[in-house]
Amino acid sequence: MLEHKKNTYFGTQGKSPWYRWDGTKFDCYIVGVAGGSGSGKTSVSERIIANLNVPWVVVLSMDSYYKVLTSEQKIEALNNNYNFDHPNAFDFDLLLENLKDLKEGKRVEVPIYDFVTHSRQPQTNTLYGANVVIFEGIFALYDRRITDLMDLKIFVDTDSDIRLVRRLKRDIDQRGRDINGVIQQYLNFVKPAFDQHIQPTVKNADVIIPRGLENLVAIDLITKHIQRQLNERRYSFRWELLKKIDYNEELPKTVIVLEQTPQLKGIHTIMRDRDTQRDDFIFYSERLASLVIERGLSEVTVKDHQVTTPLDLPYMGKRCNEKICGVSILRAGGIMENGLRRVVKDAFIGKILIQTDPTTGEPLLHFAKLPNNIHDCYVLLMDAQIATGAAALMAIRILLDHNVPEDRIIFLTLLATRLGLHVISNAFPKVKVCTSMIDPKINEETLFIEPGVGNFGGKNIDCIYLSPTIEHETLNSRIITILHIQIDTTEHNHLYLNDTNRIINNLICFSFNFYIHLIIIICANFLSN
């Protein structure tokens, strides 16, 4: 069984590529924010994020990494005799592991610590896709192994009386503590720990912010510095791929092209005809997808398996013991989901929404929904066509960031160019690509496949386009929420995100029926009176 999926939503702005044209990644920019308890570390971090106003900057709190207390320690904590402000109270090893993964751009499951029961909740918070991580905590600058991972180190210096007042308010309101217990703990543990362990870490800081959140000038300077780092890490390569990749070379051995049979050419003829009706186009697209998926599945490892026939005779055959997960690249990749379910009826399907930036032409990641243990699966990555390979690079990079081995990814596509195939092979040489046909040319001005199929996604699906220039983020978020409902139900009633027209029609029909029933009820009440 595959574990449930979690959503990662990057907003209507989308996330630009965080890797180079050869697939190598930029390291995440980590900012450490330290200071005494109640100094305003969290408030400063949140203000920096608000000033940046981008969805790929996150705060990681050290409070999530308190150690789980034993029964004896819980009794001490209940009597305010356990020192939560000592370095030994934190799980630095797990923290170091998570920060290393975030630095490398991998997905991380952050524990949720319950300060009432002093234990970790079974749920976790998923962090993925952050270009900047702001790590805040009282011992953020304490461990040399952790500070070595940081690009910028900040110490928030606030008056001790103000820190005490803030701690009283926080522990009483948010953590269910009583005032006497908080004061006792402050005098016995918090203040001595600050003097012995926290204050000395100021020497490790690059920047000291006096007065915390009140120091708007310092916060503004730090924000501008981080913005410069973000701008330096922006990398546009879609148009450069034409110059960097020699796509006239022999096709890589990892590329599989279906045999060009009359049936295959006939399907392509119908699909490429501009006069083909939409229903026919969808039918033959799904038929072609089934052929590509069947060929791609032949690359999955199988083992000998013996069964007994109805005649009570043995038969030695083959069985695939691997877990199969399909991941469609939306929009156009959604058309291949039906083909996958026809071949593997119980296949689990994830989704990645990648759209092209209308101003730069670069791919933007808007949404990802993948199983938690996708790294245990053979992943069939599906998109209708590969032109430059820019979207394919992004999708493969996402899977690798979720710890899927490169040699367990099979990219399935209906149509490809030599450029796109060489781009994938150059960046990820172990990824196999299976396509039904290769078109000879890509237009260097428009980057369209020629002769091609045209806008594959537009022919297959009626879509809502979420423009990044729309000012009303809330409206777009509501639309995304509606689409997420459809994603959550794919395993049960086979509704698809790509059939947005069906979603809208259902909403319209619901509204129409609601008002009709309302009118009937009003008329019935009026006549009865």
**Do residue 154 and residue 297 come from a single domain?**
no
Q: How far is CA 377 from CA 77, 87, 256, 368, 371, in A?
A: 43, 39, 21, 17, 10
Task: Decide which of 176, 205, 232 is a domain's last residue.
Answer: 232
Please tell me the distance from the alpha carbon of residue 419 to that of residue 397, in angstroms, as a whole number.
18
**Do residue 69 and residue 186 come from a single domain?**
yes
Cβ proximity of 408 and 327 under 8 Å: no
The CATH number given to whatever domain includes residue 464 is 3.40.50.2020
Residue 12 lies in a domain: no
Task: Decide which of 204, 232, 260 is a domain's last residue.
Answer: 232
pLDDT (tens, 9 = 90+) of the chain, 529 residues, equals 444 455 665 555 677 777 777 777 778 889 999 988 888 888 888 888 888 877 678 889 998 999 988 888 888 888 878 888 889 999 999 999 999 999 988 888 899 988 778 888 888 888 887 788 999 999 999 999 999 999 999 999 888 778 787 778 777 777 667 787 778 777 888 888 888 898 999 999 999 998 878 888 999 999 998 888 777 766 666 666 666 666 677 888 999 999 999 999 999 999 999 888 888 988 999 999 999 999 999 898 888 999 999 999 999 998 888 889 999 998 788 888 888 988 888 888 899 998 887 777 778 888 888 888 898 889 999 999 998 888 999 999 999 988 899 999 999 999 999 989 998 998 899 999 999 999 988 877 777 888 888 877 666 654 444 444 444 444 444 344 334 333 333 333 333 334 444 444 444 444 555 555 556 556 555 555 5
Please tell me the distance from the alpha carbon of residue 23 to that of residue 34, in angstroms, as a whole number.
34
**Do residue 249 and residue 394 come from a single domain?**
yes
Q: List phi, psi (to 5°) of 85.
A: -105, 25
Q: How far is CA 367 from CA 55, 477, 527, in A?
A: 12, 12, 52
The CATH number given to whatever domain includes residue 34 is 3.40.50.300
**Do residue 147 and residue 280 come from a single domain?**
no
DSSP 418-443: HHHHHHHHHH-TT-EEEES-EESEE-
Residue 312 lies in a domain: no
**Do residue 444 and residue 483 come from a single domain?**
yes
Residue 511 lies in a domain: no
Residue 347 lies in a domain: yes
Residues in the chain: 529
**Do residue 274 and residue 212 come from a single domain?**
no
Mean pLDDT of the chain: 80
Task: Decide which of 232, 251, 282 is a domain's last residue.
Answer: 232
Cβ proximity of 347 and 341 under 8 Å: yes
Split into its structural domains, the chain has a count of: 2
- In terms of residue numbers, what domain contains 476? 241-301+318-498
Please tell me the distance from the alpha carbon of residue 496 to that of residue 462, in angstroms, as a whole number.
12
**Do residue 135 and residue 254 come from a single domain?**
no
Name the H helices within 373-499. Answer: 390-401, 418-427, 456-460, 473-488, 490-493
Please tell me the distance from the alpha carbon of residue 348 to that of residue 326, in angstroms, as a whole number.
6
**Do residue 382 and residue 273 come from a single domain?**
yes
pLDDT one-digit tens code per residue, 418-446: 989 998 998 899 999 999 999 988 877 77
**Do residue 52 and residue 186 come from a single domain?**
yes
Residue 146 lies in a domain: yes
**Do residue 129 and residue 202 come from a single domain?**
yes
**Do residue 182 and residue 38 come from a single domain?**
yes
Contacts of 427 (CB under 8 A, 6+ apart): 21, 22, 23, 393, 396
Please tell me the distance from the alpha carbon of residue 331 to that of residue 240, in angstroms, as a whole number.
24
Residue 520 lies in a domain: no
Residue 528 lies in a domain: no
pLDDT one-digit tens code per residue, 392-409: 999 999 999 888 999 999
**Do residue 225 and residue 254 come from a single domain?**
no
Residue 313 lies in a domain: no
